[in-house]
Amino acid sequence: MPEGPEIRRAADRIARVLTGRRVLSVEFSIPDLARQGQALSGAHVVSVTPRSKALLIRFSTGVVLYSHNQLYGRWSVDRASKSPDPRRALRVSIFTKDHVARLYSATDIELLDEASLATHPYVAQLGLELLDGTTTVEDAVHQAHAAPFQRRALAGLLLDQRFYAGLGNYLRSEILYVAGLRHSDVLGHLSSQARTRLGETAYKLTHQAYRHRGVTNDLARAATLKAEGLSFGRYRHHVFDRASEACWRCGHLIERVDVSGRGIYFCRRCQNYPTSTSDLPRPRARSTPRARY
């Protein structure tokens, strides 16, 4: 599922071609929305903004197009003359004179007014938006010290959109690794310094992922690995999706554990987990080099 950084980059692409432009037509594959969409012809796009993993497109008529990509949704931006991708299910098309923004495969799509948006069951419960332009690292740290979250274990808390909006599975593992924390740690049991470190890491790593196409690894290390011929998927992260590969930092084998059906990846040594040898994973053959950085 796309996470906050991916949705923010999609919003940027769409905003560049839609914001301030007059809309020629908005076409929906959903009959109820198709009828409402006819009223948007001739309107202007006021803004395109992400909210956690949702995208909000506001029109001058006061209507807001809400969409959530879920697992398979994807936005594209093309010249208006380009035909849609026949391999994907087209849900929404927004045409201007020069461009078209298309949403494929998503099913969570609504047309709302501002009042309905404010009480929307997904939007209304969202917490601190780390990629919002007004959010600071101090805000992220304050959230990590906020009373309502102190009884929560980090594994579940970092996926709870009421805490940090926009975090998902890859950012959860990467934040815990960089902060040197364990998924089983309870927020309120951490020292004040550790909670501050969690907030700072969540803010900085989410912004790095946004600026660098989802790369959460050390940027100098990632550049070196890329130059050595590793694929994007292999140099992108510290630990996520790297089970049984060597930790770039210490050489210990990365492990995976499933929590509520979703995988968390971690380095037992760097994150101070118990080191019983009976808990260590068996290595798998991989072409990725051992830790050297």
Residues 195, 201: Cα–Cα separation, whole Å = 10
Residue 252's contacts (CB-CB under 8 Å, 6 or more residues apart) are 246, 267, 268, 269, 270
Residues 122, 126: Cα–Cα separation, whole Å = 7
Among this protein's residues, is 2 annotated catalytic? Answer: yes
DSSP run (H or E) holding 232: helix 232-235
Among this protein's residues, is 82 annotated catalytic? Answer: no
Point out the catalytic residue in the list 53, 102, 197, 234: 53
Pairing mode of beta strands 164-165, 128-129: parallel
Among this protein's residues, is 5 annotated catalytic? Answer: no
Burial 23-46 (b: 16+ CB within 10 A, else e): beebbbeeeebeeebeebeebbbb
Point out the catalytic residue in the list 16, 35, 82, 262: 262
Contact between 154 and 201 under an 8 Å Cβ cutoff? The reply is no
End-to-end CA distance of the chain: 30
The amino acid present at 177, given as its one-letter code, is Y
| Residue showing tokens 């991916």 | 6
Other CB atoms within 10 A of residue 198 CB: 28
Q: Would you please indicate which residues are annotated as catalytic (active-site) residues?
A: 2-3, 53, 262
